[in-house]
């Protein structure tokens, strides 16, 4: 089984993905980490040197690489990997897509001190909150096309979120 986690920056995809994989005994891949290894550059450096358009192209190339031929994995996507319907359809054909749904307050709290998110770099506090709001609103219709949605706010602990996902997977197994 392939479990793929989507959601906005700061929704907990990496932490939860890693814990989930550990619990299931699956391999864990974080798409951003995979890109950094392959490109031998940080995400901010890729944005700076080649621009967002290039990043979006390689993101899809590496998404396919991570999903092809591998089973029993948990794959955490980047916040912008669900670029369009084609990408979403491709992912849904290749695994169970789960949306980690976090609110603006939780997202802001988790990303505020992080220098590794080029989309939020150089913004004031208010600008960051505004950017999170508008980008989240724009992306919600994409995230909501996931097979399942699991809440991942500040008050939802990592073990709780992991358990909620495991429950979903068990039901999937019963359905076959
Ligand atoms: C992005 C999210 C980041 C990373 C890149 C772009 C986005 O991943 O892929 O900075 O467009 O939302 P995380 O969601 O893991 O921070």
Buried b (16+ CB within 10 A) or exposed e, 16-53: bbbbbbeebebebbbbbebbbeebeeebeebbeeeeee
The crossing angle, in degrees rounded to 10, of helices 31-39 and 43-67 is: 110
Range of the domain at 41: 2-170
Answer yes or no: are the C-beta atoms of 27 and 21 closer than 8 Å.
yes
Q: State the distance from the centre of ligand 1 to the C-alpha of 7, rounded, in angstroms.
A: 9
Ligand 1 atom, smallest distance to 119 CA: 10
Distance between CA atoms of 36 and 43, rounded to whole angstroms?
A: 7
Residue 95 lies in a domain: yes
* Number of domains within the chain: 1
pLDDT above 90 as % of the chain: 91
Contacts of residue 111, defined as CB under 8 A and 6 or more positions apart, other chains included, come to 9, 10, 117, 120, 128, 132
Answer yes or no: are the C-beta atoms of 19 and 158 closer than 8 Å.
yes
**Is 48's pLDDT higher than 80?**
yes
Pocket test for ligand 1, best of 102, 116, 117, 135 (most atoms within 8 A of CB): 117
pLDDT, one tens digit per residue, over 130-152 is 999 999 999 999 999 999 999 99
Residue 176: band (very low, low, confident or very high) from pLDDT cuts 50, 70, 90: low
Residue 175 lies in a domain: no
Residue 176 lies in a domain: no
Q: State the distance from the centre of ligand 1 to the C-alpha of 119, rounded, in angstroms.
A: 8
**The pLDDT value given to residue 84:** 95
Ligand 1 atom, smallest distance to 11 CA: 14
Over residues 23-35, the mean pLDDT reads: 97
Over residues 116-131, the mean pLDDT reads: 94
Q: What is the CATH number of the domain that holds 44?
A: 3.40.50.300
Claim: this prediction has a pTM higher than 0.95: yes
DSSP secondary structure letters along 10-29: TSSHHHHHHHHHHHHT-EEE
Ligand 1 neighbours, Cβ below 6 Å, are: 9, 13, 32, 43, 78-80, 117-119
Residue 128 lies in a domain: yes
pLDDT, one tens digit per residue, over 49-95 is 999 999 999 999 999 999 998 899 999 999 999 999 999 999 999 99
Cβ atoms < 10 Å from Cβ of 137:
10
Ligand 1 atom, smallest distance to 117 CA: 10
């Amino acid at each position: 089984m392939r479990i793929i986690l989507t959601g906005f920056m700061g929704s907990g995809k990496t932490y939860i993905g890693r814990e989930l994989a550990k619990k299931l005994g699956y391999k864990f891949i974080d798409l951003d980490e995979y890109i950094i290894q392959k490109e031998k550059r940080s995400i901010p450096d890729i944005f700076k040197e080649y621009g967002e358009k290039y990043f979006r192209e390689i993101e899809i190339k590496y998404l396919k690489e991570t999903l092809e031929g591998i089973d029993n994995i948990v794959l955490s996507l980047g916040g912008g990997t669900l670029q369009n319907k084609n990408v979403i359809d491709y992912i849904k054909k290749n695994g169970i897509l789960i949306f980690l749904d976090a609110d603006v307050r939780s997202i802001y709290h988790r990303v505020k001190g992080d220098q590794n998110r080029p989309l939020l770099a150089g913004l004031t506090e208010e600008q960051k909150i505004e950017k999170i709001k508008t980008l989240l609103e724009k992306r919600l219709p994409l995230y909501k096309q996931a097979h399942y949605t699991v809440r991942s706010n500040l008050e939802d602990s990592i073990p709780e979120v992991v358990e909620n996902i495991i429950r979903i997977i068990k039901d999937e197994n019963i359905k076959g």
